[in-house]
Structure formats: C-alpha cells, structure tokens
Chains A and B, each alone.
Chain A
Amino acid sequence: MSRLGSQVRTELQLVSRNGEQLLLTLGIPVMLLVFFSLVDVLPTGTDEPIDFLAPGVLALAVMSTSMVSLGIGTGFERTYQVLKRLGATPLGRGNLIAAKIVGVVVVELAQFAVLVPVAYALGWSPPSPQWPAAAGAVVLGTVAFAGIGLTLAGRLRGEINLAAQNGLYLVLLLLGGMVIPFEELPAPMRAVARALPSGALADVLRATLADAGSRPGTSWAVLAVWAVVTPLVARRLFRFDGQR
C-alpha cells in the first residue's frame, strides 16, 4: 500500500473507532433532521420544516466534519506528538494533508449518503435541485471550515482546542441559519450571521437545492472569501509540534 493510502486508511480507522466523532458527524445531524422535521417547533417559515431543514443540516454536516472533527482530531494528534513523529517519516506534509482531505471527503460522502435519503424519507422533495452547484458550495465550505479547524488545532493545547471547537460549533450552528432562519435573529446579529461561513453555506445550499436562498449571490461571495482566507491563516499559524 502507498504511503498516502496507508495514511488515509489510518485516518478512516480512527474516525470509525471514535464514538464522539461519529456522534458529531452523523448522529447529531440525523437527530436534528428527524426531530425538527417531525416536531414542528422551529419558525422555519415553510409549510414543511424539512424543506428548510434539509439544506441546513447538510451544511451542518459539512461543518461538523471539516471543522470540528478534523480540528479536534488534528489538535490531539499534535498534542500527542503524532504529527511530530510522522514528521520523521517519509510521509511528508503533502501526503499528510492529502490524507486528511481524502478522509474528510469520504466522511462527507458517507454523511450525504445517509442524510439525503433520510431527508427524502421525511418528505423532502426539492423541485429542481442543482447538485453540481451544491457540490461546489460544499467544497468551498469544506475548505473554509477546515482552515478554521486547523488554525485552532495548530495553536491551542488539546483540551482547550476541544472546548474551542465545540463552542464555535454551537455558535455557528445557532447563528448560521442552519436550523434557525436568519429572519428570526435580531437585526445586528443577523448581519453577523450572514457573514459567517456557516450562514453563507446554509444559504447557498438552500438556494441551489431548494431555490430558497435569501441572498445567494452575497452568500457565494462570503463563502469564497472564507475559503481563501482561512487556509492562508492556517498555513501561517499552524504548528506541527505541540505541548501537553
């Protein structure tokens, strides 16, 4: 097996054995999708909550995997000196990063393979979903969130990184238009929410999959800016060696 293949296998093995990550990446999105589709308590502004929820939960799944799961995992790898140890092998940074990207993409595909059928089973029936455009948004969102996750992972101690990633996850979930519409937020908070990558991704997915985005043009631009800026910040700030 090639170095890259071996590293990808290791990344996926670790994800599959980590119950917390499975809960985060799959369990919580499925629960949110099912619960709020069946229990109509959210002010979604649609006849069927699933029409609002499905794109938002897909955006949440992308954030869970590419920011929180990647960031927490990488942070602990740094703290436990796994990255340092790998640095003394012929693997190289390029293969390590490529393996992490492949790992994230595989998990996202698995998430979509579960969430989309669940959404359809719950009555989601988008009239003319633009899947290629949605895939492009997912790529941009993945890059943007990964940049945030790796920036935190590359600077903070393992436990602090864990708390920061989870805290940020909650903030972006609540402010990101994923399960709570922007219109329900106070005006100043709404402006901030629209500028967040979570809000932009949810809005773009809603526009491409359900033709219901509120400001898709602006959201595409916001998402693109985040996708450019956060990897550059991560590249500048990330440190491979870590202290416990």
Chain B
Amino acid sequence: MNGSIGSNGAAVEVDGLTVRYGDLVAVNGVSFRADHGQVTAVLGPNGAGKTSTIEVCEGYRRPTSGAVRVLGLDPADDQRRLSERMGVMLQDGGVYPSARVRDTVRHYCALYDRGADAAELVDAVGLADRASATWRRLSGGEKQRLSLALALAARPDVAFLDEPTSGVDVLGRDTIRSIVRDLADGGCAVVLATHELDEAERVADRVVIFDHGEVIADGTLDELRRGHDEIRFRSSPDIDLASLAAETGLAAVSVGSGEYLVRVASDPQVIARLSGWLGTHGHPLGDLRAGAQRLEDVFRRLTSPAAPDGSADAAGRSTGRRRGGAR
C-alpha cells in the first residue's frame, strides 16, 4: 500500500462537508472517515446526500464548505494525482455502448501507470467468455461486473463503488461481493454507496447512514445494533398479546400477519418462556430469530420518523448525529 494517506491514517476523511445547489442544501456539515482494509458502506434514502458526498470525494464536485481528503490529497485540486490510485464505479453507464468488453478493459488498464493486467481483470470479474461482447449486448449483471472491472483497472488504494450489485442476479452478487471483500482485504479502502442493506450487512466493516443531508449514524455493524436485541417469530395471527405480556412479561408487537417482534435481550430463558406460553395456549412457533437487529431494522429505526417501534429512537434522531463507535 502506498503512503500519503491522511494525517490520522484514514484513506478518506470528510470533515464538515456542505454541498449546496442554489438554495438547496444537499449535504449539511457531514463528517466521516473510511480506512484502508475496510469496506465502508454509505447508506441512505434517495436524496439523502450520498451521491453528492461521494462525487466530492471523487473530485467531480467542489464542496461549498468543509474539507475532504482522499489518500491525503484534495480531490478537486489534486484530481490528476488522485485518479492514478482511485477506482470509480458509477451507478449507471460510463462505457461506450458499442465497445467490446476486452477492448474497454484494455483501454482503461492503459490509462494508469500501474494499471492491472486486462486479461486477468476480465477473468476476475467472470467475463472471460463475454470478452468479445459489446456493452449493449451485456445483461444488467454483466454490465455491473464490467463497471467493477474498470474501477479495479487502477489497482486502486481507494475505490468508490456506487450500487455495485444493482440489477445483478444472485450468483453475480456473490461474485461482486467476493471481489469487493478481496479488494478491502488487500488493503484498499472501499467506499460502497448502496440502497441494498443486505449488501452492506454482508460486506461492510463500517456503516455510515445519511438522511436529509446529514450523517445520522456511523459505526461498525455491532456498534449500530448494540442495545437493540430482539426476538422475531411467527405464530397464530390471533395471539392475545395482553395475555402474553401479563403471563410472561414479554411485550410483543405484531409486525405482520402472524409475525411478531419482542424487543428484549435474547437469552435462552426468555425464549423458553415464550415458547412455553405459546405451547400452553396451543399456538405454533416458527421462524424464530433471536439476536441483534438486522441492519434493515436499524436503518428503518433511524430514518423513518413514523417507525412503529422507534419512538425512543425518533427522539434520539432529533438530537442529531449518533456515532456508533469511538474514533
């Protein structure tokens, strides 16, 4: 890994970034970092400010205020130097429609001083048998894999990947996740913008959640889930929840037809109480899942003001940014 990273070892440092488009404040005082050897997932609803933030990091856009350093460089002023070591995957397009896979990868590899071997790269993303196909002939998943290959052409020290598995089938997703993981394990700082929470949960070491132009959560998955254990289960749709609460002390809420949620630490005694009560009252028990909240639930809790079980969290949101872990 080359040197010249940020002063505190971060590959990407965003400090108090604000981006305005006229009167619209797209990004409002955002701060976060991404480290080498980690996948940092940037999550958020549409219009949350993710793309504007990443475009500043890539050097496409100048900040209205605040500071951004990528590999210790200013992305706007040092874009040429940074581009030698930076991989970029756009959300959509970016390739000549009539260009062939092999030619496109070879071209991009030739643009970098230490560019990757084109044939190896085509093979690595699983497109060796489609090397002669043009972009317009590729499936959605193949296009994503080609875009990923172009992001890897630089042998990057930092990579910004925008929705890399969007429109990709299950096997293709596995390939892309594996490549992304290998990239980070090789020391690259990977910044992954995605709507796919499952994607982030599978590959990310760190998660930064945007909402309304601000970072509302930032930490490892464990840090974001901490204190939010739960038990989910399926049973009869007509359970008497008041009776369950009175007899077991478990305050379950219905989250769907026959699907229930109990916010409680998931120790075996609690599960035994629950299953015992269900058995006694003749209710089945299925799809029991106990443990930390899924990232999807964390995301809903933080970004949905009307979350049914998130009153306390909604109050927390109003206090502004929350950080999962120490810096």
Residues of A within 8 A of B (CB): 1-3, 5-7, 9-10, 13-14, 17-18, 76-77, 80-82, 84-85, 87-92, 241
In Å, the complex CA distance between A87 and B60 comes to 8
In Å, the complex CA distance between A1 and B99 comes to 18
In Å, the complex CA distance between A122 and B103 comes to 40
Q: A90-B80, A90-B84, A92-B80 are in contact. Are A84 and B94 (CB under 8 A)?
A: yes
| Beta-carbon contact of A241 and B60 below 8 Å | yes
Q: Is B90 an interface position by the 8 A CB rule?
A: yes
Report the nearest A residue to B59, measured CB to CB: A88
Measured between beta carbons, the chain B residues less than 8 angstroms from A7 are 107, 111
| Beta-carbon contact of A10 and B83 below 8 Å | no
In Å, the complex CA distance between A68 and B60 comes to 28
In Å, the complex CA distance between A152 and B119 comes to 37
Q: Is B265 an interface position by the 8 A CB rule?
A: no
In Å, the complex CA distance between A115 and B96 comes to 29
Report the nearest A residue to B103, measured CB to CB: A13
Total contacts A-B at CB 8 Å: 68
Report the nearest B residue to A76, measured CB to CB: B97
B95 CB contact (under 8 Å) in A2, A6, A80, A241? A80
A80 CB contact (under 8 Å) in B60, B94, B150? B94
Extra inter-chain contacts (10) besides given A2-B110, A5-B110, A10-B99, CB under 8 Å: A6-B111, A77-B96, A80-B93, A80-B97, A81-B90, A85-B88, A88-B86, A89-B83, A90-B84, A90-B111
| Beta-carbon contact of B93 and A14 below 8 Å | no
A10 CB contact (under 8 Å) in B58, B107, B150? B107
Q: Is B222 an interface position by the 8 A CB rule?
A: no
| Beta-carbon contact of B112 and A90 below 8 Å | yes
In Å, the complex CA distance between A7 and B108 comes to 9
Report the nearest B residue to A82, measured CB to CB: B96
In Å, the complex CA distance between A85 and B93 comes to 9
Measured between beta carbons, the chain B residues less than 8 angstroms from A9 are 107
Q: How far is the CB of A102 from chain B (nearest CB, A)?
A: 15
Measured between beta carbons, the chain B residues less than 8 angstroms from A85 are 88, 90, 93-95, 150
Q: How far is the CB of A216 from chain B (nearest CB, A)?
A: 41
Report the nearest B residue to A10, measured CB to CB: B107
